[in-house]
Amino acid sequence: MIPIKTKREIATMREGGKILQEVVEKILALAKPGITTQALETEAARLLLERGAEPAFPKLAGFPGVIHTAINEEVVHIAPSDHSLQEGEILSIDAGLLWYGYYLDMARTIAIGNASDEVRHFLKTAKKSLRMALRNIKPGNTVGDIGNVIERFVESQGYAVIRELCGHGIGKELHEDPQIPNTGTRNSGEKLLPGMVMCVEPMITMGSWEVIRRKGGGYVTKDGSLSAHVEDTILVTPQGCEVLTTTSQEA
Domains and CATH numbers, the chain: 7-244 (3.90.230.10)
Q: What angle, rounded to 10 degrees, do the helices at 37-50 and 7-30 form?
A: 140
Q: What is the structure's pLDDT at 6?
A: 98
CB atoms within 10 A of CB 26: 15
Distant-in-sequence, close-in-space partners of 61: CB < 8 Å, separation ≥ 6? none
User: Structure pTM?
Assistant: 0.95
Contact (CB, 8 A) for 46 and 199: no
SS3 of residue 108 by DSSP: strand
Q: What is the structure's pLDDT at 249?
A: 45
- Number of residues written out for the chain: 251
Q: Of 192, 208, 201, whose CA–CA distance to 231 is shortest?
A: 201
pLDDT, one tens digit for every residue, the chain (251 residues): 899 999 999 999 999 999 999 999 999 999 999 999 999 999 999 999 999 999 999 877 668 889 999 999 999 999 999 999 999 999 999 999 999 999 999 999 999 999 999 999 999 999 999 999 999 999 999 999 999 999 999 999 999 999 999 999 999 999 999 999 999 999 999 999 999 999 999 999 999 999 999 987 899 999 999 999 999 999 999 999 999 998 554 53
The burial of 171, by beta-carbon neighbours within 10 Å (0-12 exposed, 13-18 middle, 19 or more buried), is given as: buried
Q: What is the structure's pLDDT at 61?
A: 63
**CA atoms 139, 140, 145, 147: torsion sign:** positive
Sheet holding 232-236, edge to edge: 176-180, 167-169, 197-200, 232-236, 241-243
The burial of 149, by beta-carbon neighbours within 10 Å (0-12 exposed, 13-18 middle, 19 or more buried), is given as: buried
